[in-house]
Structures are given as structure tokens and as C-alpha cells.
Amino acid sequence: MAPERRPAGATAAPRFVVQRHRARRLHYDVRLEIGGVLVSWAVPKGPTLDPAARRLAVRVEDHSIEHLDFEGVIRAGEPGGGDVIVWDRGTWEPQGTDDPAKAVADGEVHVDLHGEKLQGRFALVQTGRPQAGGGREQWLLVHKRDRFAVPGWDPEDHPRSVRSGRTNDEVAAGPEAP
Ligand code: MN
């Protein structure tokens, strides 16, 4: 079932998803529902609850809301070819702003995530502009030191989909969702 489309001005908590995506290189796609789309960053090492970690997050193109539930195999040769699981999902709240789209445009957004794996306050901070020639924005993703912080927490220790319970290997072997 496709995720619910919401009218503009809906007040329900916005959603987020993190997809573990084994494309040419493994990364985790962190996507926040903002203004009717999924504003997205690719995080090569994945998000973590470890407040000492600073994770590179490369801004990538917005995705449609339908992508919230996407889990499966993207054919080789297509952009992002590889396998994808719904690694985490839930709702989120902006902190310190009621205009998260502007916060993203200004290069810094703080969020409280209410996921199954990810909890607590995260900051996304832009650190560099795209390089000439079509590079992407470089950001950092950090977990703040709050009661949800867990030193040493590694996303690779939590490899299963919160949608299906499957690993990327299991999705690759049988891409039809059970
Ligand atoms: Mn991706």
C-alpha cells in the first residue's frame, strides 16, 4: 500500500525513513518528510546514536513520498542499482524552527527522531558548497548528547529491515516482499 498523501497544511507528525542501500557503494539514505517530499542525504557510514561520531551526509535529490516504503531491488544499470531495505522509519519533529524547509536551505536543521532504531536529537549541518562541476552539498550528521545517545553504537550491528525483518542479502535473493 502506498504511503498516505497528505494535503498541504496537514498537522500530523512528519515521517522519516532511513534506507540501507547497497548500490555501487553501501550507504544509508536518510529522508525527512518536508513540504510533501522526502528531503534526502546519503550517509556512507550510516547514522549512529554515538554522540562522538560525525558522519558525512551528502545531500541528494528529493524523493517522492511514495519512497517512504520502498524496499527491493533496483536493477543493475539503473541509477542506484542494488538492493534497498527500510532500515528505520518513524516520525520526527523540527527543533528550534517551525520552518524546516528554510532551515535546510540555510544549511542547518535540528530534529528529534522517533524511530525504531534511531531516537533522540540529531543535527544536520552543511559544511561545504558543491564544488564546481556539479558536486553535491556536503553535510555532517551528528547525534546530540541526550538520553538516547549510545557511545559506540554501530548501525551495521542492526542490519534488519523494520518493514520486513529481512537483511539486504535476503532482499537481494528474493525481492518480492512477503
Ligand atoms: Mn541511495
pLDDT tens digits, 111-136: 999 999 999 999 999 997 776 667 88
Q: What is the pLDDT of residues 145-178, one digit of tens each?
A: 999 999 999 999 999 999 999 999 999 998 666 5
Distance CA 2, CA 36 (A): 14
Ligand 1 centroid to residue 20 C-alpha, Å: 8
Ligand 1 centroid to residue 88 C-alpha, Å: 14
H helices of 21-107, in order, are 100-106
Q: What is the number of alpha carbons within 13 Å of residue 127 lying toward its C-beta? A: 12
Q: What is the pLDDT of residues 13-46, one digit of tens each?
A: 999 999 999 999 999 999 999 999 999 999 999 9
Ligand 1 centroid to residue 59 C-alpha, Å: 11
Q: Are 167 and 85 in contact (CB under 8 A)?
A: yes
Task: Give me the DSSP letters along 34-53.
Answer: ETTEEEEEEETT---S-TT-
Residue written as cell 535476503?
170
Which set of grid coordinates corresponds to residue 129? 558548497
pLDDT band at 55 (very low <50, low <70, confident <90, very high): very high
Ligand 1 centroid to residue 42 C-alpha, Å: 6
pTM value is 0.92
Rounded to 5 degrees, what are φ and ψ at 21? -125, 110
Give the model's pLDDT for residue 105.
96
Give the model's pLDDT for residue 129.
74
Across the chain, what does the average pLDDT equal?
93
Ligand 1 centroid to residue 10 C-alpha, Å: 28
Residue written as cell 531495505?
85
Ligand 1 centroid to residue 102 C-alpha, Å: 24
Distance CA 134, CA 95 (A): 31
pLDDT band at 67 (very low <50, low <70, confident <90, very high): very high
Q: What is the average per-residue pLDDT within 54-81?
A: 95
Ligand 1 centroid to residue 82 C-alpha, Å: 9
